Structure formats: structure tokens, C-alpha cells
């Protein structure tokens, strides 16, 4: 599935948050979206999964204008790991993963053995098999993230959006989650705050600044201009290594 | 339905009150006057001459003692409508300055600003600091001793009321104002009226009475303790809720339905605070629905009782006469 | 290419919790029946068991039982106790379901109709009719005024809690608490203005919840609203789950959050309005019952809603029995009884979550 954003602008209560954003994520590619806090990454993602209505611009999936689709049809194409945990009401892991089946069910249809089978498979793929009846709230941060990814898998969509999936995780689990996502081989757009992760895991890095996508690669000049810092040695090192590899 | 209106006795009493000369009371001894009321001793160097009256029966009682010229200010009685006054008292009521739009005394500052030397009311609610009213102690300190009618000093005392308290109050007010002779005359007349009722209804079968203030569940009614229960008994009736030790209270529909009354007494206050509240007719209809299997419902035998008559004051004895006539009409034609 | 195609092998399906759910439902239905039987059997006036159920049988199948009772006993059992017991079921179930929905809506297990100002909005509408008289409000019935009040409360809460197009649970609860006190102040003012000591006492009793006014003719409206409401919510259990997981999550799962939330607002207002109009504002049922339901069967609303309804019905039935018998023949307001359970429960909940 190919995602194309062209000239997207989003305004919240009269304040333009995203001014003009354009990017392309090719089929099966993993694109990262980076930028300083408040640059509009999350807002742009929310516009893609239709939590917000863009003021201008076009968002299309495989040449299909998103606005032509119902919310339900959109949800069958796009799965999201957002920055919220369903931790308040004692849902079990299975309850959470089964939510992924929502866009595939009619109001009166029952949850079938097939739905449960798909959930079990999704949990297995994220290495959480056997924890289905655990309370979601009691899981560790890394485990929660895995369960949310399993929910996205159970949703059987072809585009995966992740909003800072490594937030609040320790470094080992951060890498864990990113490896897992990359290995899924889905068309993926992830907002990331760690530039090193973006460079190590993504096929392409889009850089946002004050509501605009200003670059589609992470050069030292871009880092200096957007983030106001000189490329730190580790980034520089990874940068050099990447150059050698390519 | 009969209205509780003036009987012959009532006219006599009212006339008696007005006939009393409005001149200064008899010369008092130099010793201060003291009277016990609600556990406090009220002391007066001279009879009060600047009185503020609260709820209706308080003013009615003072007017009956011929003390109109001692009353400086009063509250409003619109709750009983234009018919709600005892005969001959409307003119006096209109002549006295009104300092409150309701039956309650005015707020603390207005009240203290009156410079009263005596305050008389029913119950305690007009002296509750939480309601913004001047307390009994504050008024006392400001030189206005507070007299509570009927010994309604607390909910517990309310339950212990006996009709004797009405006479005790009249006697005490006679002492305070130096009009003992008028008080004794009123007491004698009232006792005679009660004795007449007792003589007429004695030996007659008791009429089973439900005294109510309406409701379809729970029902507000009078239990077996307090003023209303006394009034029913003295009028030759029997309170069907006598087993419950309560005055004005909520009762379950089951208990009311099972009480099987012969007649209803319905509390009547047609207008309250400028707004129409459930009329006595409506309340009677509601409660008759609850006791639909009773003789009271079959005969639609109900009588409105003015709210003012259900509070301490000499009017409750007038009401006993009216209730007795309602319960035992034949006894009063002889 | 779908996500699961790469799954290797067949994972074992997850064991179903259906059997436990069925058992819980059965037990609770039994509890409702038992509590209702108890409620019809006992009261301020004692009516023998045989007479009591003879009366019910005779009403349902005239002539089937020999009449051994008095008309007053028949009136007590058939006109007062049975409609009251049935109303307890409806109101208990309704309040519990509303609590469950509101907790999902604000994603907070501490939410209940009181916390969001909905109950006091309904009370305000009802008090206005009660005290000012129906004519002042253009002949509005008590139910309609209570519904209007609760809907106004929810809409206000909704508007006040919005920020940047998002509805945050914390703001929702804070706005709700503020409105709760505002409405309480307004109806207290109305009561104080009308204070006769007499009318106010009746309203006060009713404000704390009472089923004492139950009559047959009061049952159809709550029954229809509750039945339709629960049916709708059961159909919508997936969007409800998704919404409980979060606003963005629900959107990403294909739920049109704005429209769905509006439907839930209207539905909960309607339920609260109808319940308050018939029985006053009964606190704590909406808070406690859904929580207990989740402890029994988990958080999935397909299970939580019916279990909450039954649990709420049984609970309020027992509460009403206690309210009628503890201080007989006088009755306690229901909130006095529910608070005996509710306040410690609330504190326990706070400690548990801390």
C-alpha cells in the first residue's frame, strides 16, 4: 500500500499546526517522521487516520482519496498504535487485541472462533502468546506496546501508523519494538523522537519543522537547522557507518 | 367541604379581645417580672411595648389578649389566603407594619434593627443561625427576650405537647404584659368551650381520623404524638397513626392504606410565598386514593384545617371545636 | 497482503470466558428474582405469604385462588409493593447501565452520573417543576424536565471539557463536578425561596431518592427507555469498548467518535432523566455496580452491560427493602442506604488504585 500526502494543512481552533506537509511512503516501506517537539508530527498522523479533518491538501492510499472512504473503510486500511493506553478499565490483553476486529464486524455479529484465532496469531507474532487473559494495565511498558501492535495486526490493515511507539520505554525495549515493527514488512509511517532510531530503522526519514515537512533525509545541515544542535558524535558515527554501507 | 370558619364562640372571643380597653395595663410592682420559657428565664422590668410577632398564631394570641398597641411589627400571613384570618383580626393585621414577606422573621440585621423588647414565635426555625436569622441568645442580648409558644423548643419537646401548654402560654403572656385578668378570662372561655365539646362527644364512638398534608407515597401525616394528635383526641376522634410516635412525619403508603380512616383532616395553606401549593382539595384527593378502601374514601369525608390552627396558639382550641362539629355533627344540634 | 499472512503456524485459540459469563448471568438473574420475591413479601404492614402471593396469582389469573385476603391487603400488595419492586428493578438496572456507559465515555472508573453533574441537572429540572409548578414551565412533565436538565448538564460538560477538538477525561470530570455544585446551588435556591418547611421537606426526601411513589402507571416509560437503551448499547458494545480504550484508538478502529459520543450523551441523559423523574437522585449505584460487574466478568461491554443491569437491579431491590424496614414504619431515603455501602467502596477503590 502506498501512502501519499500532498500539501496537507491542519488547523486546530484557528491555530495552524500543520501548514504544508507532503510525503510518500512506498509499499512495504518504513518511513520515519522526526522533528522537534510541537512541530506537528502527531497532528499530521492524526489527520492521516482521520481523528482530525485537514483544512487543505490531499491524503491518498493507493491513489484513493481518503475522504471518499467511511471511517470503517479507513480503519480496514490503516491500523494505528497511538499514544494512549486502554489501562483504565481493566481490559484483558485479549479484550484489547479483539478491539482490532472492530472494523470487520457488523453491529449484530458475534465474536467468532475465527476472530479469536486471528488474535491468538497476532499475539504469537509479538511474542505475547499465553498472556491473553492477563490484565492489560499490569503489563510492562514494552509488553503494552507489543499488545497494541498485536491489535494493529488483528486489524489486518495494510498501512501501520505509529505515534512515538518507543516513548517511556527503556532502551532495550525501544530497540525491541522497532525491530518487531520493521520485521512485519508492512507499509509503515512512524513518528519517532530519537534521530538515531529513525536513521537505523527507517528506509526514509521525513523531517518536520513548524508544521512543514522540510527534508526527506537527515543530513547534518538539516539537524543543525531544525534541531538547533550540531550532530552529536553518535549520530555522526551512525551517519558515517550508514554512508559506508550504502 | 366545610371551611374551618368562625363559630359563635369565636366571635365572642374576638369581640372580647377587642373590647378590652387599650389603655395602660394595671400598675405593676417594682419587682421585675420573670417567666420560664424553653428552659430560660425571661426577665422584664416593665411590660414589653415594642413586640415583634412571628408566625400567625403568635400574633393571633396577642390580639386575643387585646395587645394590638404593643405590637411594633409582624411577619406576612399570605399563606392562608384572604379567608385565613380570625374574625375581626384582619383590620389589626393590616394596621401593623410588616417587616417580612414570608411567615419567617426577617434576616438577622433587619431583625436586630427593629429595637424590639419582646419577640414571640412558634418553634425554632426563625432563630436558626444557619438560615441567617438572629438567634434567641442574640435577641436576648439585644434586649428582646424570645417567647416560644407551645414549648416547641426542640423536635423532642414538640412530641410532648399537651393542650394544657396553650393555657400555660396564655397565663405566662398575661403575666409578662400585666394583663392577667384578660388572660384568665380567655382561659376560662376556652376551657368552657373544651368542656362543652367533651360533654357533647363523651360516650360517642370515636371517629377514626387520618390527619395529613398530602402525598402519594410516602404520605405526610400526623403520628401519635404532639399537638394534632391531642386535637383529634379532644374532638372525639382517634388518630389512626397513633401507634407511631411522631408529629408531622412521612409514612409509608402501606401503613396509610392499612390505617382505614373514617375521615381525613387535611392541612390547608392555599398560597405559600406567593406560589400556589397543592390545595387541600388536591391533597385530599391524593390521600383518598391511597386509602381507597376506607370509609373516608367512600364517603369523601374530609375537612381542611388551616395550617395556623395546627401550630401552638389559642386558635388550636377553636379548631378542636370545629373538628368536633365535623366529626359529630349530631352532638351539636342538641 | 494482510498482516497475519506472515504468521507462522496456527496459534492456539484463546480459551473463551463464555461459560463463566453465562453462570454469572444466571446467578444474578436468580438474585433479582429472589430479592423481588422478598420485596413483595415484606413491608410496613405484614401480609401473610400465602395471602401475598395469592393476591398476585389472583391478579394475573383471576379466580385461580380462593380469596382469603382483605381489599386493603390486596391494595398493599398489588398497588404498592409489586409496582415498587418492579420500579426498583428498572431504576437499579438503569442507573448501573448509565454508570457503565459514563465510565467508558470518560475512561475513568470513578465516573458516575453524580460526578458528571448529570444527576443534579436532572434534579434541577425536576425541582423546578415540583416547586415552581408545571404551569411555569409550559406544562412540562416531570420526566421531560428531568431529561431536559440532564441533557443540558451533559451538553454543558461536553462543551466545557472540549479543548483543541479533544475531550480529555480529567477536564470532563472537573467540569462535571463544577456543574454538579452549580446545579445543586440553583435548586437549593429554588427550594429555599419556596421554603415552607413542608413542601421543601417532601422535595428533599425525594431528592435523596425514594421509590415510595411507585404506581403501575409509572412503569411503562422507564421500562421502554431502559429496554431500548440496553438493546442499543449491546449492539454497540464494540464501539463502546473502543471508546473506553481512547478517543484516538476508537477513531483508528473505524468509530465515528463525535457522532457516537453524541448518541451516548442523549441516551444516558434520557435514562438519567427518566430515572430521576420516577425515583429522585439515588447516588452510588452507578459508581459501584459497573465496577463490581467488571470484577466479575472483565471489561468487555458485551458482558459488563447485562451483568451491570442485573446486579444494579438486585442491589437496588435490597437497598429499598432495607430503606423500608430498618426504621419502619417510616422510610429512609435510598441514598442514605446506598451511601452506607457506597462511601466505603469509593474509599476502597481510591486506595486500590493509588
Average pLDDT value for residue range C35-54: 90
- Max CA pair span of chain A: 58
pLDDT of residue B19: 42
Residue C4 has a CB neighbour count (10 Å cut-off) of 17
Residue that is last in its domain, among B174, B193, B212: B193
Q: Residue B62's domain is classified under what CATH number?
A: 3.40.50.1980
Asked if B243 and B279 sit in the same domain, the reply is yes
User: Chain B residues with CB inside 8 Å of C210's CB?
Assistant: 218
Distances (CA, A) of C106 to B5, B15, C217, C243, C246: 61, 72, 35, 9, 9
The answer to whether A146 faces chain C, any CB pair under 8 Å, is: no
Locate the chain B residue with the closest alpha carbon to C279: B217
Q: Looking at the structure, do residues B92 and B54 belong to the same domain, yes or no?
A: yes
Q: How many CB atoms lie within 10 A of CB C137?
A: 15
Task: Provide Rg for chain C, Cα atoms.
Answer: 22
3-class DSSP string for chain B: CCCCCCCHHHHHHHHHHHHCCCCCCCCCCCCCEEEEECCEEEEECCCCCCEEECCHHHHHHHHHCCCHHHEEEECCCHHHCCCCCCCCCHHHHHHCCECCCCCCCCCHHHHHHCCCCEEEEECCHHHCHHHCCCCHHHHHHCCCCEEEECCCCCHHHHHCCCCHHHHHHHHHHHHHHCCHHHHHHHHHHHHHHHHHHHHHHCCCCCEEEEEECCCCCCEEEECCCCHHHHHHHHCCEEECCCCCCCCEEEECHHHHHHCCCCEEEEEECCEECCEECCCHHHHHHHHHHHCCCCHHHHHCCEEEEEHHHHCCCCHHHHHHHHHHHHHCHHHHCC
Contact B254 C43 (CB under 8 A): yes
User: CA dihedral in degrees (C41, C47, C48, C53; nearest 10)?
Assistant: -50
Answer whether B270's CB lies under 8 Å from B81's CB: yes
- Regarding whether B306 and B237 lie in a shared domain, the answer is yes
Contact of C136 with chain A, judged by CB distance below 8 Å, is answered with no
pLDDT at residue C149 is higher than 50: yes
pLDDT at B117 over 90: yes
Average pLDDT score over residue span B41-68: 93
**Beta pairing, strands A3-12 & A56-61:** antiparallel
Closest of A123, B308, B163 to residue C13, by C-alpha: A123
First-to-last CA distance in chain C?
45
Whether C330 sits inside 8 A of B252 (CB atoms) is: yes
A187 touches chain C (CB under 8 A): no
- Test C7 with A122 for CB contact under 8 angstroms: yes
**B104 and B209 housed in the same domain:** no
Chain C positions in Cβ-Cβ contact with residue A79 (cut-off 8 Å): 3, 252
- How many domains are contained in chain B? 2
- The reply to whether residue C196 touches residue B269, judged by beta carbons under 8 angstroms, is yes
Q: Tens digit of pLDDT for each residue in C217-236?
A: 889 999 999 999 999 999 99
The DSSP 8-state label assigned to residue C15 in this structure reads P
Q: Are A216 and A206 in contact (CB under 8 A)?
A: yes
Question: How far A244 CA sits from the closest chain C CA (Å)?
Answer: 32
* Window from A225-234, B270-279, B290-299 with minimum mean pLDDT: B270-279
Provide the shortest C-alpha distance from residue B22 to chain C (in Å): 35
Confidence of residue C308 (pLDDT cuts 50, 70, 90): very high
pLDDT of residue C15: 47
Q: Do residue C131 and residue B260 have CB atoms under 8 angstroms apart?
A: no
Same domain, B169 and B216: no
Angle C101-C107-C113 from CA coordinates, rounded to 5°: 45
CA-angle at B318, arms to B312 and B319, nearest 5°: 75
Q: How far apart are CA C45 and CA C329, in angstroms?
A: 8
CB spacing of C80 vs B276 below 8 angstroms: no
Q: What's the alpha-carbon Rg for chain B, to the nearest Å? A: 20
Q: Give the best residue of C81, C192, C199 to mutate against chain B (max B CB count within 10 A).
A: C199
Tell me how far apart the alpha carbons of residues B237 and B331 are, in angstroms, rounded to a whole number.
13
User: Residues B140, B146: contact at Cβ < 8 Å?
Assistant: yes
Cα–Cα distance list, A99 to A113, A151, A164, B239, C246 (Å): 15, 7, 21, 66, 12
* Residue A126 three-state SS: coil
Which residues in C lie closer than 8 A to residue B276 (C-beta atoms)? 133
A85 contact C CB<8A? yes
Nearest Cα neighbor of B50 from B103, B107, B99, B1 is: B99
Burial of residue C209, with CB atoms counted within 10 A of its CB: 0-12 exposed, 13-18 middle, 19 or more buried? buried
Q: Would an 8 Å CB–CB cutoff place C234 in contact with chain A?
A: no
- Please count the other Cβ atoms lying within 10 Å of the Cβ belonging to residue C307: 24
Of B317, B43, B267, residue with least CA distance to B165: B317
Closest Cα to residue A89, out of C111, C248, C167, C263?
C111
- CB–CB of C14 and A94 under 8 A? yes
Backbone φ, ψ for residue A230 (5° rounding): -75, 145
Compute φ and ψ for B133, nearest 5 degrees: -95, 155
B318 in a structural domain: yes
Listed residues B193, B218, B253: the one ending a domain: B193
Domain hosting B328: range is 204-332
Q: Are residues B182 and B214 in the same domain?
A: no
Please, what's the b/e burial string for B296-322 (b: 16 or more CB within 10 A of its CB; e: otherwise)? bbeeebbbbbbbbbbbbbbbbbbbbbb
- The pLDDT, as a whole number, for residue C4 is 43
Question: For residue A18, what is the enclosing H or E element?
Answer: strand A15-25
Residue of B nearest to C78 (CA): B254
- Neighbouring residues of A82: CB distance < 8 A, sequence distance ≥ 6: A163, C246, C248, C249, C252
Domain check: are B17 and B86 in the same one?
yes
Instruction: Nearest by CB to A46, from C4, C12, C248: name it.
Output: C248
- Is B220 within 8 Å of C214 when comparing Cβ atoms? no
Q: Are B298 and B232 members of one domain? A: yes
Asked whether at least 3 C-beta pairs link B and A within 8 Å, the reply is no
Q: Are residues B231 and B319 in the same domain?
A: yes
Cell of C153: 448538564
As a whole number of angstroms, the distance between CA C244 and CA C301 comes to: 9
Query: CA-CA distance, B48 to B67, in Å (whole number)?
Result: 10
Angle of the C142-161 helix axis to the C169-193 helix axis, nearest 10: 140
Q: Per CB distance under 8 Å, which residues of C are interface residues toward B?
A: 43-45, 70-72, 75-76, 79-81, 131-133, 193-199, 201-202, 205, 210, 212-215, 324, 328-331
Cβ atoms of A115 and A101 within 8 Å: the answer is yes
Which is nearest to C198 in space by CA: B229, B122, B148, B307?
Answer: B307
Q: What is the pTM of this model?
A: 0.82
Three-class secondary structure of residue A84 per DSSP: coil
pLDDT in tens, chain A (246 residues): 899 999 999 998 888 999 989 999 999 999 999 999 889 999 999 999 999 999 999 999 999 999 999 999 999 999 999 988 877 778 999 999 999 999 999 888 888 999 999 999 999 989 898 888 899 988 988 899 999 999 999 999 999 999 999 888 888 889 988 999 998 889 999 999 889 899 999 999 999 998 999 998 888 888 888 887 766 545 555 555 666 555
Q: Which domains does chain C have, with CATH numbers?
A: 83-353 (1.10.3470.10)
Coil, strand or helix at C166: strand
Q: Which of C85, C84, C186 is nearest to C127 (CA)?
A: C186
| Residue B40 domain-assigned (yes or no) | yes
Q: Is the pLDDT of residue B194 over 80?
A: yes
Give, in order, the Cα–Cα distances in Å from A233 to each of A236, A240, A241. 5, 10, 12
Q: Which residue on chain A is closest to C353 by alpha carbon?
A: A88
Question: Is the pLDDT at B249 greater than 80, yes or no?
Answer: yes
How many Å apart are CA B84 and CA B6, to the nearest integer? 11
C-alpha B293/C-alpha B297 separation (Å) is 7
Q: Which of C71, C131, C330 sits opposite B293 (nearest CB)?
A: C71
CA distance A189 to A168: 19
The distance from CA C348 to its chain's CA centroid, rounded to whole angstroms, is 22
Whether the predicted pLDDT of C7 surpasses 50: no
The shortest CB-CB distance from B250 to any of C43, C79, C205 is to: C205
Please tell me the distance from the alpha carbon of residue C100 to that of residue C285, in angstroms, as a whole number. 10
Please tell me whether residues B254 and B306 are part of one structural domain. Answer: yes
| Interface chains of chain B (3 or more CB pairs under 8 Å) | C
Looking at the complex, report in whole angstroms how far the Cα of residue A177 sits from the nearest Cα belonging to chain C. 16
Whether residue A74 lies within 8 A of chain C, CB to CB, comes out as: yes
Whether B112 is in a domain gets the answer yes
In a domain, B1, yes or no: no
Chains C and B touch, contact meaning at least 3 pairs of CB atoms under 8 angstroms apart: yes
Q: Which of A78, A90, A108 sits opposite C294 (nearest CB)?
A: A90
Contacts of C242 in chain A (CB under 8 A): 99, 102
For residue B155, tell me if it sits in a domain: yes
Residues of C in contact with B218 (CB under 8 A): 205, 210, 212-213, 330-331
The residue of B158, B221, B253 whose CB has the most chain C CBs within 10 angstroms, and thus the best one to mutate to test that interface, is B253
Query: Which residues neighbour A23 within 8 Å (Cβ) at sequence distance 6 or greater?
Result: A3, A4, A5, A31, A33, A189, A206, A213, A216
CB-nearest to A52 from C7, C165, C256 is C165
Q: Give kind and range of the element (H or E) at residue A177.
A: helix A171-184
**Contact flag C80-B216 (C-beta cutoff 8 Å):** no
Q: Do C299 and A91 touch (CB under 8 A)?
A: yes
Cβ of residue A14 closer than 8 Å to a chain C Cβ: no
Give the mean model confidence (pLDDT) for residues B112-133. Answer: 87
**Chains A, C: CB contacts under 8 A, how many?**
154
Pairwise CA distance, residues C78 & C307, whole Å? 28
- What is the residue extent of each domain of chain A? 3-86+157-227
- Predicted local confidence at residue B24, as pLDDT: 47
CA C250 to chain centre: 25
Phi first, then psi: give them for residue A18, nearest 5 degrees.
Answer: -110, 125
Q: What average pLDDT does the segment C296-300 reach?
A: 90
C79 close to A (CB below 8 A): no
Its sign, for the CA torsion B231, B233, B238, B239, is positive
Q: Which of C132, C193, C324 sits opposite B252 (nearest CB)?
A: C324
Query: B66 and B20, same structural domain?
Result: yes
Contacts of B70 (CB under 8 A, 6+ apart): B47, B48, B49, B50, B51, B62, B118, B177
Residues of A in contact with C251 (CB under 8 A): 49-51, 71
Taking the C-alpha atoms of residue B35 and residue B49, their distance in angstroms, rounded to an integer, is: 17
Mutate to test the interface with A, among C17, C173, C245 (most CBs of A within 10 A): C245
CATH code assigned to A3-86+157-227 = 3.40.50.300
Contacts 24+ apart (CB under 8 A), C184-189: C184/C120, C184/C123, C186/C124, C187/C120, C187/C123, C187/C124, C187/C127, C187/C128
Chain segment C153-191, per-residue pLDDT in tens: 988 888 888 776 667 777 888 888 899 999 999 988 887
Region class of B253: left (phi > 0), else alpha (psi between -120 and 50), else beta: alpha
How far apart are the CA of B271 and the nearest CA of chain C, in angstroms?
A: 10
Residue that terminates a domain, selected from B193, B214, B233: B193
- Complex confidence, ipTM: 0.88
pLDDT in tens, A79-100: 999 988 877 778 999 999 999 9
CA proximity to B110, closest of B72, B57, B81: B72
Nearest CA in chain C to A53: C165
Q: Mark whether B48 and B173 lie in a shared domain.
A: yes
What subunits make at least 3 CB pairs under 8 angstroms with C? A, B
Interface check for C352 against chain A (CB to CB < 8 A): the answer is: no
On the CB side of A114, CA atoms within 13 Å amount to 6
Provide the pLDDT for residue B130: 78
| Best to test chain B binding among C189, C196, C200 (most B CBs inside 10 Å) | C196
Amino acid at each position: 500500500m502506498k501512502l501519499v500526502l500532498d500539501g496537507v494543512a491542519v488547523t486546530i481552533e484557528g491555530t495552524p499546526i500543520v501548514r504544508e506537509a507532503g510525503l510518500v511512503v512506498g509499499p512495504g516501506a518504513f518511513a520515519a517522521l522526526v522533528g522537534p517537539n510541537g512541530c506537528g508530527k502527531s497532528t499530521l498522523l492524526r489527520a492521516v487516520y482521520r481523528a482530525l479533518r485537514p483544512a487543505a491538501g490531499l491524503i491518498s492510499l493507493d491513489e484513493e482519496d481518503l475522504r471518499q472512504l467511511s471511517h470503517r473503510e479507513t480503519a480496514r486500511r490503516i491500523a494505528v498504535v497511538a499514544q494512549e493506553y486502554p489501562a483504565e478499565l481493566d481490559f484483558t490483553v485479549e479484550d484489547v487485541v479483539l478491539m482490532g476486529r472492530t472494523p470487520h464486524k457488523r453491529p449484530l455479529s458475534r465474536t467468532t472462533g475465527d476472530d479469536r484465532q486471528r488474535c491468538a496469531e497476532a499475539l504469537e507474532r509479538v511474542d505475547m502468546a499465553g498472556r491473553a487473559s492477563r490484565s492489560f494495565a499490569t503489563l510492562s511498558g514494552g509488553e503494552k506496546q507489543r499488545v497494541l501492535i498485536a491489535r494493529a495486526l488483528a486489524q489486518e490493515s495494510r498501512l501501520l501508523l505509529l505515534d512515538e511507539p518507543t516513548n517511556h520505554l527503556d532502551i532495550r525495549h525501544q530497540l525491541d519494538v522497532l525491530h518487531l515493527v520493521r520485521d512485519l514488512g508492512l507499509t509503515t509511517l512512524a513518528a519517532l523522537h530519537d534521530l538515531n532510531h529513525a536513521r537505523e530503522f527507517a528506509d526514509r526519514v521525513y523531517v518536520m519543522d513548524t508544521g512543514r515537512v522540510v527534508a526527506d533525509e537527515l543530513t547534518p545541515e538539516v539537524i543543525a537547522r531544525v534541531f538547533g544542535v550540531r550532530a552529536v558524535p553518535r549520530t555522526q558515527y551512525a551517519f558515517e557507518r550508514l554512508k559506508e554501507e550504502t | 367541604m366545610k371551611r374551618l370558619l368562625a363559630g359563635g364562640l369565636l366571635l365572642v372571643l374576638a369581640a372580647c379581645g377587642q373590647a378590652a380597653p387599650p389603655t395602660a395595663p394595671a400598675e405593676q410592682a417594682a419587682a421585675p417580672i420573670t417567666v420560664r420559657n424553653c428552659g430560660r428565664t425571661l426577665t422584664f422590668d416593665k411590660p414589653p411595648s415594642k413586640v415583634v410577632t412571628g408566625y400567625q398564631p403568635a400574633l393571633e394570641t396577642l390580639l386575643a389578649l387585646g395587645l394590638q398597641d404593643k405590637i411594633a411589627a409582624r411577619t406576612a400571613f399570605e399563606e392562608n389566603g384572604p379567608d385565613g384570618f380570625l374574625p375581626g383580626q384582619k383590620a389589626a393585621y393590616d394596621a401593623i407594619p410588616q417587616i417580612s414577606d414570608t411567615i419567617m422573621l426577617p434576616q438577622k440585621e433587619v431583625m436586630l434593627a427593629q429595637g424590639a423588647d419582646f419577640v414571640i414565635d412558634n418553634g425554632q426555625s426563625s432563630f436558626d443561625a444557619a438560615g441567617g436569622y438572629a438567634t434567641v441568645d442574640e435577641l436576648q442580648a439585644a434586649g428582646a427576650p424570645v417567647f416560644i409558644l407551645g414549648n416547641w423548643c426542640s423536635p423532642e419537646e414538640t412530641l410532648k405537647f399537651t393542650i394544657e401548654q396553650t393555657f400555660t402560654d396564655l397565663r405566662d403572656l398575661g403575666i409578662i404584659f400585666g394583663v392577667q385578668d384578660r388572660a384568665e378570662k380567655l382561659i376560662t372561655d376556652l376551657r368552657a368551650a373544651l368542656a362543652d365539646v367533651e360533654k357533647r362527644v363523651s360516650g360517642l364512638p370515636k371517629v377514626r381520623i387520618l390527619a395529613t398534608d398530602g402525598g402519594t407515597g410516602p404520605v405526610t401525616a400526623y403520628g401519635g404524638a404532639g399537638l394534632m394528635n391531642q386535637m383529634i383526641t379532644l374532638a372525639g376522634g382517634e388518630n389512626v397513626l397513633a401507634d407511631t410516635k411522631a408529629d408531622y412525619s412521612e409514612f409509608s403508603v402501606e401503613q396509610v392504606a392499612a390505617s382505614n380512616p373514617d375521615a381525613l383532616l387535611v392541612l390547608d395553606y392555599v398560597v405559600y410565598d406567593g406560589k400556589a401549593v397543592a390545595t387541600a382539595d388536591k391533597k385530599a384527593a391524593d390521600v383518598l386514593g391511597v386509602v381507597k378502601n376506607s370509609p373516608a374514601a367512600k364517603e369523601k369525608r374530609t375537612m381542611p384545617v388551616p395550617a395556623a390552627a395546627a401550630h401552638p396558639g389559642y386558635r388550636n382550641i377553636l379548631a378542636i371545636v370545629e373538628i368536633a362539629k365535623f366529626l359529630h355533627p349530631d352532638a351539636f344540634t342538641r | 497482503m494482510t498482516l497475519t499472512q506472515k504468521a507462522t503456524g496456527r496459534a492456539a485459540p484463546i480459551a473463551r470466558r463464555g461459560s463463566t459469563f453465562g453462570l454469572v448471568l444466571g446467578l444474578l438473574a436468580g438474585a433479582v428474582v429472589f430479592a423481588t420475591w422478598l420485596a413483595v413479601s415484606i413491608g410496613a404492614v405484614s401480609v401473610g405469604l400465602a395471602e401475598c402471593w395469592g393476591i398476585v396469582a389472583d391478579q394475573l389469573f383471576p379466580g385461580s385462588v380462593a380469596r382469603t385476603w382483605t381489599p386493603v391487603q390486596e391494595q398493599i400488595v398489588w398497588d404498592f409493593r409489586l409496582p415498587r419492586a418492579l420500579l426498583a428493578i428498572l431504576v437499579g438496572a438503569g442507573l448501573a447501565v448509565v454508570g457503565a456507559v459514563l465510565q467508558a465515555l470518560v475512561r475513568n472508573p470513578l465516573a458516575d452520573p453524580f460526578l458528571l453533574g448529570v444527576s443534579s441537572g436532572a434534579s434541577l429540572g425536576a425541582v423546578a417543576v415540583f416547586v415552581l409548578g408545571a404551569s411555569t414551565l409550559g406544562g412540562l412533565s416531570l420526566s421531560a424536565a428531568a431529561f431536559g436538565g440532564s441533557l443540558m448538564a451533559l451538553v454543558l460538560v461536553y462543551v466545557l471539557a472540549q479543548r483543541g477538538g479533544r475531550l480529555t477525561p480529567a477536564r470532563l470530570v472537573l467540569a462535571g463536578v463544577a456543574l454538579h455544585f452549580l446545579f445543586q446551588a440553583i435548586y437549593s435556591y429554588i427550594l429555599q425561596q419556596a421554603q415552607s418547611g413542608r413542601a421543601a421537606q417532601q422535595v428533599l426526601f425525594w431528592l435523596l431518592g425514594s421509590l415510595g411513589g411507585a404506581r403501575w402507571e409509572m412503569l411503562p416509560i422507564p421500562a421502554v427507555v431502559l429496554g431500548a437503551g440496553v438493546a442499543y448499547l449491546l449492539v454497540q458494545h464494540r464501539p463502546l469498548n473502543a471508546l473506553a480504550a481512547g478517543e484516538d484508538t476508537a477513531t483508528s478502529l473505524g468509530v465515528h467518535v463525535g457522532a457516537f459520543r453524541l448518541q451516548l450523551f442523549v441516551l444516558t441523559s434520557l435514562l438519567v432523566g427518566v430515572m430521576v423523574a420516577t425515583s429522585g437522585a439515588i447516588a452510588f449505584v452507578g459508581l459501584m455496580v459497573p465496577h463490581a460487574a467488571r470484577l466479575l466478568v472483565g471489561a468487555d461491554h458485551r458482558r459488563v452491560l447485562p451483568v451491570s443491569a442485573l446486579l444494579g437491579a438486585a442491589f437496588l431491590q435490597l437497598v429499598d427493602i432495607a430503606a423500608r424496614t430498618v426504621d419502619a414504619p417510616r422510610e429512609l431515603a435510598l441514598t442514605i442506604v446506598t451511601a452506607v455501602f457506597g462511601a466505603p467502596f469509593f474509599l476502597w477503590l481510591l486506595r486500590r488504585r493509588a
